[in-house]
Structure 1
């Protein structure tokens, strides 16, 4: 199963730059019905490519009933990214916003699938951020959103975590101010250590039989080594800039959401703690807050190898889809 590419042509970004010959990667699982009313959009999370989230088809989303379209964000190395040579970093004024990702996804759905209204947007982490952005900016196009382990605005504490990741890469001796003269091996190792320390929970790391250093090098570092480090930075900058209210009144922006909303927190998520998700849910009309008890931490929202969490997510999605589309 491999992703396809949709050509967007020269694509203007909110930061003022234009992506020449922009490409959006996507994966389709299942088939649209005759009315084109069964398409579920899954925006990708940080570092993920569409194939990485294909596991959702079956355990969480039913591909026999739904046409599942997984759309890759700009910067992930599959869609247009700095590694492709035509996109810079924040040092040159390039910052992709989620409004840019949503605009590209809207074109994909209209131009490839002939769809302008979605029964559900399902997103984890940065995918949840995009689901919120859709619901705030295009309420007429979104019937339901399921936002798993993600918030509507990047919190100050979350921002601190992201800045530490960026610093781990740009402090490497191979950073030249706009890219890298060679692979930043030490920077990537430091980056992986920071990322892993927050992605899983304290109980998870206590349960390991191996040293945490070995665990990170074997199970985390390879995931980031597959990326061009400039792409990792570009996605961090999108995350850092995330704010559905664009610096305005967040409560007012979330209060305009008409989509039926499920907000899903992980009990041990250190990136997006329960209090932050509960605050978003309290502001969205009719939103329901769910908590997944899990020692996987943030990864409880992406449990590709954990059936218990998969079953919980499946029940939440099925309940959401059975409810009226709007509050």
Structure 2
């Protein structure tokens, strides 16, 4: 059953047994759609959200004249579990509330998204699955879990599994947040603001490249008054808008992302990649510090219909998402146009 909300919808998923063995009772999957599903039900696109993002944050790539044009496609943007709109630590009742929210995998997310696509909309094939960062992780899962359903796939600044170095980076982010005494093992009465601010400061050194900072693009391109203004407003301010437990829940999902960690592939990563038969463009950022291009090159080498097309940008991880740099946004949109015309 789906119930309407002011700006998005909620799919009631019932009791869902997760890969962790926990049961997420009364699971909810938030989502927003753009455009109209045609009579043949063959114009659908799935565009999952990213770490800390919600469906509205994906809308920079949706619109008239863009590749994801609602006049042509029916675009479904499912909100990741843990993002504050779908079932999350911040909105789940006891006993799985706050710090006791169960561990959720990308596999769990995509299983629910598949139910939404097939049960709510009756869709059997997808024209495209695309995503940035953790959205890319979910897109990879779509391609490997449902290869006969996904016709095309484009991933930007993401990977099919979390690398050891990426895992370590996230341990630093997590440690900065949980060091705040107000965190109280996840059962805080007020937001652990010092930890959230520290998390933003740690993230700042990874989200953009060395060249981005060297060229002072935070000031010249984004309009901040100084580097400190950028760190406080963009990074600290961004994390202060999120619930700490929600961030930690999604972080665990990210750290344990692996398209082969499921009953379909039993840890055989190369096999999981080989089963992605969709026409695919894999787009790492040339200067991405935690999804390096060489990881994407390896993934493409194991996929039968994949093209490696890096984003030539010094905006680091941010090159592939959020539409911050118009040049990068144009590059990503053009790749989508190219792929959709194949």
Shorter chain as normaliser: what TM range? Answer: over 0.9
Which of 95, 100, 103 aligns to 1:95? It is: 103
Distance in 1 between the 2:155 and 2:324 partners? 20
Equivalence for 1:220: 235
Equivalence for 1:201: 209
Which 5+ residue runs of structure 1 have no aligned equivalent? none
Alignment of 1:155-166 (within 5 A): 155-166=163-174
Which 5+ residue runs of structure 2 have no aligned equivalent? 1-5, 220-224
- Asked whether the 8 Å contact 1:89–1:234 carries over to 2, the reply is no
1:305 Cα offset (Å): 3.5
Equivalence for 2:309: 290
TM-score by length of 2: 0.90
Matched, 1:244 2:259: yes
Alignment of 1:1-327 (within 5 A): 2-58=7-63, 59-86=66-93, 88=96, 92=100, 94-206=102-214, 207=216, 208-209=218-219, 210-246=225-261, 248-323=267-342
Distance in 2 between the 1:88 and 1:162 partners? 23
Distance in 1 between the 2:156 and 2:97 partners? 28
Question: For residues 234-270 of structure 1, what are the alpha-carbon distances to aligned partners after superposition, in whole Å with 9 as ceiling and x for unaligned?
Answer: 0000001101111722112111221111100111111
Alignment root-mean-square deviation, CA = 1.8
Range moving further from structure 2, 203-212 or 230-239: 203-212
Number of residue-to-residue matches in the alignment: 323
Distance in 1 between the 2:81 and 2:294 partners? 29
Distance in 1 between the 2:301 and 2:324 partners? 31
1:113 Cα offset (Å): 1.5
Distance in 2 between the 1:91 and 1:230 partners? 6
